[in-house]
Amino acid sequence: MFDVVRKSAIPLADQLVARVSELIESGRLPAGSRLPSVRQLARRVGVSVYTVTSAFERLAGKGLIDPRAGAGYFVAPLRSRL
């Protein structure tokens, strides 16, 4: 679901941003869905925690996900994304 291609010229964080954006925009990750924790996703994909954190910060900056202190990251409501 959150795969990356290591041999790609596209940086890993950019790949994660593109993939999560695609999942959200296609409705496969609906509003309110909880994303895996930074550490879980880093382990699952085989990248550093920094890479996932960078991707999540960029997704939050785009209004696609909401960070919730102590709870994790969630797909933002549609109204936040407009």
Of residues 75 and 2, the one with the higher pLDDT is 75
Cβ atoms of 47 and 4 within 8 Å: the answer is yes
Residue 74: exposed, middle, or buried by beta-carbon count in 10 A (0-12, 13-18, 19+)?
Answer: middle
The band of 3, judged by pLDDT with boundaries at 50, 70 and 90, is confident
For the beta carbon of residue 26, count every other beta carbon within 10 angstroms. Answer: 8
For residue 72, what pLDDT is reported? Answer: 95
33-81 confidence digits (pLDDT tens): 999 999 999 999 999 999 999 999 999 999 999 999 999 999 999 765 5
What distance in Å separates the CA atoms of residue 43 and residue 37, rounded to the nearest whole number?
A: 10
So what's the pLDDT on residue 79?
67
